[in-house]
Each structure stands twice: as structure tokens, then as C-alpha cells.
Structure 1
Amino acid sequence: MRFSVPLAALLGAGLSEAQYLISEMSFGYAGRISSADNPGVIPNFVVSGQPTKPEILSSKVILTPVAPGNARGAIWSEQPLKHPNFIVDVDFRASGPDRAGGNFNIWLANHGKDIGAKSVYSAGRFEGLVLVVDSHGGQGGMLRGFLNDGSVDYSQHHSVDQLAFGHCQYSYRNLGRPSQIKMRQTSTSFRVQIDGKTCFETDRVSLPTGYDVGVTASTPDNPDSFEIFKLVVMSDTSSHDASSNSGDNNNNNNNNNNNNNNNNGNSNNGNSNGGSNMLYKKQSSSGDESFVDLADEEADVFQTSKSQFQDLHNRLQGTNHQLSSVYRSVSRHHQMDEQRHNEIKDLLAALQSKVELLDEISSFRQRIVALENEVRNMNNELHKKLQDNERSVQGALRVHHNSLTQRVAESVPGHGKLIAVIIGTQVILVVGYVLYKRRRANSPKKYL
């Protein structure tokens, strides 16, 4: 199996930027949206609509049907997004008559359930970000981004279109395939892509954590049908890391309280607690625990067996805390390695399938080249045979014309015989007439 340079670059990019799926905020990534055991329900999401709820199928959700018009549909996550760096990936499709319309909204907003099935034009004083896809601009469609901190009432604003902070032209209707919108936030930028191409990017937008993820669609009297196939939320840190970090913070608080209580209890013993006051725990910015080693003391400080035991106890306790922290870190990294290993396996499988397709394409190319050569040879042979036939026909016609002239000259009878026959006939007639006159003149005359 051969890897090309672009495939190797793709593999390197996938390994360097590992993304973790947030399954409780995603659907449609495993092939089925609604499970067979509980049809019509999307786990961890709230579905609403007017006048009826969106139709949930196994592979897609119909937010707004083809008929009737003036419909609204919404899907909101039950849990907020707790990761500062994230990717929201949405696959949707819009189809309808030529003069139909509507809008499709992707939300990252605070208290998304209060927004419900509203669009950006009727959401009011929302807090967060919304990406809107509609036919604004009159050129087949446009994708625009809007921000609000709750101070602007979008439902009462005289020109909502002027509030967009980013936009790009995109013809989204009646494509016959799903369109992909992906927004990515990192520590340095916020970027929106559609069908793999960058729509707009800025380094002046950074959304805080705790926002709900949702999609809504609304249609007028002549409606478009908006269907959503996938909503996937990913982050560069796993959900286990987030939960373990919060758990570590709680454990740190409990351990700090216990250590403080022990230190306060032992502080009444004077010099006997000399080592206990030196045990500290600090929390790093990444959430990992690290301990400060106990300072070395002279042996003369520990005069009694109790102080020696307490020093030994504190050092053993610090060692146990360090071992526990190392164990948690190893377990966490082991799970991360397992997840990355599975992702790499999936990526390699996808790359292998792409390489197999490339091999098939190369074989098809060879067959096409062979067929092209064969057709070219047949064309040359055909031209050669046509030229040979043309030469043979021209030669045959030339010979035929020459022989035809000679045959005509040979076949035409002579004029001398005809003249002789004519003259002879005239002579015979004259002689016969003369003889007739003489015979009649010499014959006896009859009288009455």
C-alpha cells in the first residue's frame, strides 16, 4: 500500500489535532438518530415545533415539512457546552419550490430553551451566537453570523441584517445533498466553514463556556423543507478530562481541609509538629496535582519518638498523595491513549479505503488509456482502408472511362452504308417510275 504526500499530511494533521466527540451533545454520527428501542426521541436533546413537532426518522430530522407553511422546528441540547475550544458540525438540507423560502439557524446561546423555535428575527434579547442560512441578498442564499450580549432586542430592531459580523454567499437550496456547516473556536480564532471552505474567520470573537447548542428553522407561507442529518460537537479535551478535573478540584478541597485540620490539631504540640506544617498541595493550571517535597530537617529537631513518628507519618502521607496523583494521571492518560488509538485506527481505515479507491482509479485510468490506444489504432486503420478503397475506385473509374470511349467508337455503325442504302433506294424508285411511264405510253389506248 502506497501513501501519497497529501495523505501523509492528512494523517499528520489528524494526529496533531486530536478531537474528542462529546456524545451527550451529538446525534447522527453513528448512522441512526433515533434508536429502534425508543423511536421518535433524540437522547439528551429537546425537540419542539409549531404547529407540530419535527418528524424524527432514523437518519434525519425534518424540522419543517414541505406543507403546510408558517412552521417552526427546534432541537436543543439538554447539557451546556463546557469546553472553551470546540467544533460544532451540522449537516442539513433545504429543498422546496422555486419561490419558496425560510431560514435555518445554528445557535450557541445562554438559556437556549427560552429561545425555543424562534429565528434570529424573533429571538429578542438573546445572549450568544447564531449562524443564519437564508435567501438574503437575492443571489441564491447567504450564511451570516450574529452576536448579542442580551442588550439588543433583535425582534424590535429596524434592520437586523446590518448586525451581522461575518457573512458569505452560499446557494443552499435544492442541491440534492446535505450541506455541511462547521464552526470552530480555538484559543486564538473563531472560524466558520461551509462544505470545507472557509466562510469567515476572526480573532475578535471568543464564546464563553456554558452555552446551549441548538438548531432552529422557520418558514413562510410558501415553505422550504429543512432537514438535519447530523449535529456533532467535538473538543480538544475529552469529557472525562473535564469531569476528572472537577473531581480533582473537589478532592483537593477535601484534602486541603483535612490537612488544615490535622495541622491545626498538631500545632498545639510545639516543636513536635515541625514537619507537619511543611506539607502543601498546589493545583496547576491544567488540573494535575503536584506536591512540594518536605524540607529536610536536622535530626536534633526530632527529640521525641512522637515527633519522629509524626514526621514519618507526614512523609508517608505525602508519598501516598503523590502516588494517588500519579495513578490518576496514568489512568487518565491511558484512557486518552486508548481513545486516540481508536481514532487513529479509524483514520487509518478511512485512509486505506481512500488509497484503495486511488488504486482502482489508477487501474481504470490504465484501461482508459488502453482503450484510447485501441480506438486510435482502429481509426488509423479505418482511414488507411478508406484511402485504399478511394484509390482503387478512382483507378477503376479511370480505366472504365477509357474503355467506354473505345467501345462506343467501335460500336457506332458507319454512315456509308446508310448513304448507299438511301441512294440505292432513290435510284430504284426513279428506274421504276421511268419503266412505269414507258409501259403506260406503249400500251394500247382504249376508246369508248
Structure 2
Amino acid sequence: MYIASRTLRTVAWSTFAFSAARAQYVIDNLSFGQKDGVYISPDLRAIPHWIIQGNADYVPQVLSDRVILTPPYPGGKRGSLWAQDPLHHTGDWTAELDFRATGMERGAGNLQFWYVRDSQAHETPTSLYTASKFDGLVLVIDQYEGHGGSVRGFLNDGTIDIKSHPEPDTLAFGKCDHAYRNRGVLSNIKLHHAEGFLEVMIDGESCFKTDKVKLPEGYYFGVSASSAPENPDSFEIHKFIVSTTKSVTREEPNKQRYPPPDHQAQANLASQKIHEQQTHKQQNKQSGRLGDQTSIPQMLEDVVAANIRSQQDQFADLHNRIQIINNRQALIHDLLEKMHTDAENRHNDLMNRLVPLDDRSAATIRNVEKVERTTMEILRDLESKDFKDMMNQIHRALENNHEGLKVALPDVVGKVVRGHGPSITSFLFVAVAVQIMITGAYVVYKKRRGGAPKKYL
């Protein structure tokens, strides 16, 4: 199959443009925590290009990999982070925040994600309900409506006094539920602004999206948090990354991370590669077989473009490299999605297993408490009641029964004897019968003796 060089050129440049459009460039002076293994603060006291503030005598604590805006104890604290530089970009940009909230079972507090004008930035940390008339956008993360957590978006042009509004929660233009407390993992909230829409995402899933909001440039990013006086929540900020898809709009250019290539070595590798390709083509022609020109290799060695003489080979090499980049990027994305899905499944499975255990434990505890209450009631009854009167009553009852038996027993026995004993008539009859029998026996004896023969001596 023959493919024209113009077609290859078109495909290569289209693929390259698509890859470039998907690339994200981090704005370093508006971000921190974007580099793994690098401390967000060089001296553990401040973050470059950011202002850290607290209320009264409290200052947020800066650690190597996080900033604690509000501590777990004591409550009633406020902390904030404000970028010193504004965002000079009106096109496609993304700001994402990694945070964690921990506290007691019924803890309270809130977190604000700000994008406001210069007049509101760098002020004392505050919340939506205590803020003055601000100009910009704020995302509020709190336990609104008792759903375990929610994310809501508010807009203001500097004319609305939200803290004096009778129902400030009705001013939200978008919201979604998100259980952010005591998760054990970081929560990721992403604000994506593009030409034509504004989208808020939570942990990679869309929270709400609108095409009626367009944020201007020159505004400042900020994060603030406040905790309740009783049962406070602790808010930790781990990352804040602002990125854009256009490298020319970055406030700071990327620094060279790799040493310059060895051009002589690359030229030798390129010559050797081209020689092998030509030899392979000649062998295919001699054997009457066509090479599979549409197959894309899994990896290519680094070569210098000037060493590839043929225009078709140049564009084929560019096309293959861009396809490899896209394939590897798609593979990484799939692996990350699979890891995220597996982690969510393991988490859900673990939670499903823990819930029945909690129920059984609660039922067992309730039964034990019930037995303890019953035992305590019996002990209190035994200790508080006097059984002397009861024993006297039993004793008197026994005495009464004894006296009754002494009085009634002879009469009862007499009645039994009289009712079941022999009568006088029967006794006389038996006596007369016995005498008659004896008399008869004596008469018979005499008669027999008189009739017996006599013996003489």
C-alpha cells in the first residue's frame, strides 16, 4: 500500500497538534507542591510567591509537604494563603487544590478557594459568611445541609454584601455533594476555565459546569479556612497547581532538565538505523515480500533530524515518534484510571466490611449496658429494702397454721376413725360366730371320741 508524503505530513502534524493541545504547562510562580520530593518551603517558614496569614496570635504552620491552615486544637482559628502574583491569562487554564480535612465525628469548619481582584487579596483570612464585598469567584467546601459535605460556587461583582444577605446560601450558582472529612486520602478540587465554559471537578469527576461564566485575567488565587470554636476541623493544603495549555503564556519558562545531547553519537545511531532500514527493505524486495510500512514500533532511538536525508523518512520518523508519545500517554492514563478504580473498589469493599462490624459491636455494647443496668437495679433493691417485716409475717403465718393443726387434727382423726372403723353390731356378730364355731367343733370332737373303739389293757 502506497501512502503519499503529503498524507503522512498531514497526519504527523495533526497528531503533533493534538498532543500539544493536550499538554499542560505548570505556572511555577502560582503553584507549590508540584514537584515530588521537593519541599514546598525552603526554610519551613514561608512559601515562595505566596503570603501566609492567620488571625490574632495564630500563624498557619508550614511543614515540608503541607500547610496546616487550621490546627486540630484549639478551635476558632483562621488561616489563609494568597498568591503574590496575578494570573495573566484569559484562555484555557486550570487551578487544582489538594487538601485534607480531619476532625471529630461532629466537627465543623469550612474551606474557601478564591479567585478575586487585587483589592480583596492579601487581606485578613475570612470565610464567605464574613467576607466583605469581593469581586470574583469563591468555591466553598463545608457541611452545608448536613449531607456530609458539599462544594458550592459563588460569584460577586463587588456589589453584593453576602454576609448581610438574609439567605446567602441561595446565591450559589452551582453545587454538588462531597464527603471530604476524615477520608484518609487527599481530596482534589479542580477549577477548569476555558473559552466558553467553567467547570469544577472533584477527584476527577465533574461537580458542576456552566457556559455563562467567564473569569477575567489579573485576579489573584487564594485559599482560606476557618474552624469552629468547639469540635474544630483541621484543614491541610498539600498542593496548589495552576497550569495552562499554552507554553507562551507561562509566567516562568521551563528550565532545561537534561544535559545537551551528544550529536556525534546521535549521528552514528541515525546512520546505523537508516542503513539497517535500507538493508531490510532490499531483503524484502529480493524475497518478493513487502515490508509492513504501517506498523509503528514501540520505541525509537534518538537521532538528529539532519541525518535523515529523505523527506519521507523524516516525516515517517516524526509520525512514529508522535504516535509512540500518544500511545504511551494513553497507556499511562489507562493505568492511572485503573489504579484509581482499584483503589476506590478496595476502599468501598473495606467500608462495606467495616459497617457490619460496627453494627454488631454497637448491638453487643447495648446488650452489655442493659445487663449492667438490670444488675445495678437488683443490687439497689437488695440494699435498700428491709426484709424483717416479711420474715415476721412468715413466722406469724407458720404459728397460725400450727395452732390450726392442733385444734383441728383430733376432730379430723376422730371423724376418720368413726367413718372407717368397725361398728358394735359387726363386733357382736363376729364374737357370736366364733363361739358357735368353737361349740360345734367341741361337739364333733366328743361325738367322734365316743364312737371310737375302746382299748383295754
TM-score where L is the length of structure 1: 0.52
What SS does the corresponding residue of 1:124 show, helix, strand or coil?
coil
Larger radius of gyration: 2
Aligned residue pairs, count: 253
Mapped partners of 1:21, 1:42: distance in 2: 17
**Kindly tell me: are residues 97 and 34 of structure 1, through their superposed partners in 2, closer, same or farther at Cα, counting changes over 3 Å?**
same
**Kindly tell me: are residues 78 and 354 of structure 1, through their superposed partners in 2, closer, same or farther at Cα, counting changes over 3 Å?**
same
Asked if the contact 2:135/2:158 (under 8 Å) is kept, the reply is yes
**Kindly tell me: are residues 129 and 241 of structure 1, through their superposed partners in 2, closer, same or farther at Cα, counting changes over 3 Å?**
closer
Which residue of 80, 84, 90 corresponds with 1:78? 84
Equivalent in the alignment of 1:397: none
TM-score where L is the length of structure 2: 0.51
**1:88 to 2:95 alignment:** yes
Structure 1: where are the runs of 5+ without partners? 1-10, 245-340, 360-448
Mapped partners of 1:36, 1:205: distance in 2: 34
**Kindly tell me: are residues 217 and 16 of structure 1, through their superposed partners in 2, closer, same or farther at Cα, counting changes over 3 Å?**
same
Shift of 1:31: 2.6
**1:233 to 2:268 alignment:** no
One-letter amino acid matched to 2:64:
S
Moved over 3 A (4+): 11-16, 32-37, 239-244, 344-359
Which aligned pairs between 1:114-263 and structure 2 lie closer than 5 A? 114-221=122-229, 222-238=231-247
Asked if the contact 2:152/2:173 (under 8 Å) is kept, the reply is yes
Mapped partners of 1:123, 1:356: distance in 2: 39
Asked if the contact 2:150/2:179 (under 8 Å) is kept, the reply is yes
Deviations 1:195-217 (A, max 9, x none): 11100000000000000001000
Asked if the contact 2:89/2:249 (under 8 Å) is kept, the reply is no
Which residue of 25, 43, 50 corresponds with 2:48? 43
The alignment's C-alpha RMSD in Å is 3.2
Which residue of 55, 60, 73 corresponds with 1:54? 60
One-letter amino acid matched to 1:170:
H
Deviations 1:376-422 (A, max 9, x none): xxxxxxxxxxxxxxxxxxxxxxxxxxxxxxxxxxxxxxxxxxxxxxx
What SS does the corresponding residue of 1:133 show, helix, strand or coil?
strand
Equivalent in the alignment of 2:361: none
Mapped partners of 1:14, 1:181: distance in 2: 25
One-letter amino acid matched to 1:96:
G
Structure 2: where are the runs of 5+ without partners? 1-15, 254-320, 340-457
Mapped partners of 2:247, 2:193: distance in 1: 16
Deviations 1:25-71 (A, max 9, x none): 00011135746742221110000112411111111111100001010
Mapped partners of 1:163, 1:353: distance in 2: 37
**Kindly tell me: are residues 184 and 150 of structure 1, through their superposed partners in 2, closer, same or farther at Cα, counting changes over 3 Å?**
same
Asked if the contact 1:34/1:56 (under 8 Å) is kept, the reply is no
Shift of 1:123: 1.0
